[in-house]
Amino acid sequence: MSVPLLKIGAVLSTMAMVTNWMSQTLPSLVGLNGTVSRAGASEKITLFQSPEEGWQLYTSAQAPDGKCICTAVIPAQSTCSRDGRSRELRQLMEKVQNVSQSMEVLELRTYRDLQYVRSMETLMRSLDARLRAADGSLSTKSFQELKDRMSELLPLSSVLEQYKADTRTIVRLREEVRNLSSSLAAIQEEMGAYGYEDLQQRVMALEARLHACAQKLGCGKLTGVSNPITIRAMGSRFGSWMTDTMAPSADSRVWYMDGYYKGRRVLEFRTLGDFIKGQNFIQHLLPQPWAGTGHVVYNGSLFYNKYQSNVVVKYHFRSRSVLVQRSLPGAGYNNTFPYSWGGFSDMDFMVDESGLWAVYTTNQNAGNIVVSRLDPHTLEVVRSWDTGYPKRSAGEAFMICGVLYVTNSHLAGAKVYFAYFTNTSSYEYTDVPFHNQYSHISMLDYNPRERALYTWNNGHQVLYNVTLFHVISTAGDP
């Protein structure tokens, strides 16, 4: 009597394994699996099951050249089909889901029957022991007891028959799922794993993640400056060159201004390649001369310091006219508070991810650097911060993400030595070296569009890539 019980246990164990296998396999068949993994400062978000079947979004806080990367990798298959294959695929997937539900019902039923069989197992063992102990003669009373016990076991036969039927059902279901899986794989090869409507929803989710990626990678703390990239050797020892930080990526014009005082000639090159070759340029003659090298081009206009004054001038290139000019209250000029290299560098204009800035010094601030946010339309001061760092001890300065970074020298061996955070009105001393290849920097500016530092180094126009440290929260974090 114990051998049939072991067989029943084996059937139940097999059914449990099959059900467990189905619960693990079916989700992957219908595309319910998803993973999120992180390693170091980068994050990988897999929207679908595998690189071959789904879209992937990679965010990297730091590329080898110091630039930030948002990359979306799409599947190789053509996935935007509206034909009958898409409907067929959807029907097959629904059928697999129905099979999964049937397996769940079957699992509940077999579990209930298992409890019943286990309750009967003790009774059967007791009966078997009494039969073995009998000496061949049974009294009328004992016989009646055995008859009663046997009548209690009669329902077990129907349970065993049900188990046989359930076993056959599991075999059929397993075969059906195997066939469906083959059909799904064949259709996937032709058109991808998802219907048009599902793809549309996933594309929207991907776009949202890409937008979040751009926002997360938009700003960070400066942790490194690359080796210099010399673009050209042109002009005198002092000067400035730049691109428009607000121009679209297709606009690669370069502006060039040689010298640090009384200059009026601005050369506009059509592309960076033209600038390197010294061709295809036009000339702008400013109505008022400039002082220093702290000029910047922002949204089609040049912002510069008018010579022998603390006046800010906004010159519009397309109309070739001054749109507005305004005095910067209390700002020193005419070499009163320059950088360590002199050159009428009292006023320095900058642009970062948040807008237009002016760096200068006033008598009221005792020669310490003041950084002010300017309204680019009116040139009015929106807000000012006293950094506490003496301007004459600074080689140059630049803004990244609302943080003012100051170098300790304009000569060889210079490094980014001081950082002032406008969002918290706090500062810290840093130690970010960079290679001053030509030993005399007279212009250093950050371009947020290109994530690069533009420098004029002893008659050489040089670029540096920057490395920014980003903290990237996982999906769902605020």
Distance CA 334, CA 346 (A): 7
Q: 220 and 153 in one domain?
A: no
Closest CA to 315 of 290, 343, 280: 290
* 336 pLDDT above the threshold of 90: yes
Residue 326, φ and ψ in degrees, nearest 5:
-155, 145
> pLDDT tens digits for 346-367?
999 999 999 999 999 999 999 9
**Contact present, 61 and 470 (Cβ < 8 Å):** yes
Report if residue 120 sits inside a domain.
yes
Number of separate domains in the chain: 2
3-state secondary structure of 273: helix
Quote the pLDDT of residue 219: 81
Report if residue 154 sits inside a domain.
yes
**Contact present, 247 and 449 (Cβ < 8 Å):** yes
Q: 231 and 91 in one domain?
A: no
Provide the token pair at 132: 């073995």
Q: 232 and 187 in one domain?
A: no
At CA 82, angle to CA 80 and CA 86, rounded to 5? 90
Distance CA 213, CA 186 (A): 35
Provide the token pair at 335: 């070499």
* 282 pLDDT above the threshold of 90: yes
Q: 218 and 186 in one domain?
A: no
Distance CA 419, CA 399 (A): 9
Report if residue 263 sits inside a domain.
yes
Q: 380 and 252 in one domain?
A: yes
Q: 171 and 318 in one domain?
A: no
Residue 319, φ and ψ in degrees, nearest 5:
-85, -10
Beta-bridged to residue 426, according to DSSP, are 421
Report if residue 367 sits inside a domain.
yes
Report if residue 298 sits inside a domain.
yes
Average pLDDT estimate for 326-352: 96
Percentage with pLDDT > 70 across the chain: 55
Q: 236 and 91 in one domain?
A: no
Distance CA 322, CA 303 (A): 10
Between residues 344 and 72, the one the model is more confident about? 344
Q: 432 and 351 in one domain?
A: yes
Q: 398 and 253 in one domain?
A: yes
> pLDDT tens digits for 431-451?
999 899 999 999 999 999 888
Q: 373 and 245 in one domain?
A: yes
Pairing relationship of beta strands 229-233 and 221-225 according to DSSP bridges: unpaired
Residue type at position 371:
V
Beta-bridged to residue 129, according to DSSP, are none
Range of the domain at 433: 212-469
CATH number, residue 283? 2.120.10.30
Between residues 102 and 217, the one the model is more confident about? 102
Edge-to-edge, what's the strand order for the sheet holding 254-258?
Answer: 239-242, 254-258, 261-269, 281-298, 301-306, 311-316, 321-327
Q: 170 and 301 in one domain?
A: no
User: Which has the minimum average pLDDT: 28-37, 204-213, 214-223, 388-397?
Assistant: 28-37
Provide the token pair at 242: 């730049």
Distance CA 470, CA 244 (A): 25
Report if residue 74 sits inside a domain.
no
Distance CA 399, CA 448 (A): 9
Q: 462 and 341 in one domain?
A: yes
Query: DSSP code of 228?
Result: -
Report if residue 23 sits inside a domain.
no
Report if residue 183 sits inside a domain.
yes
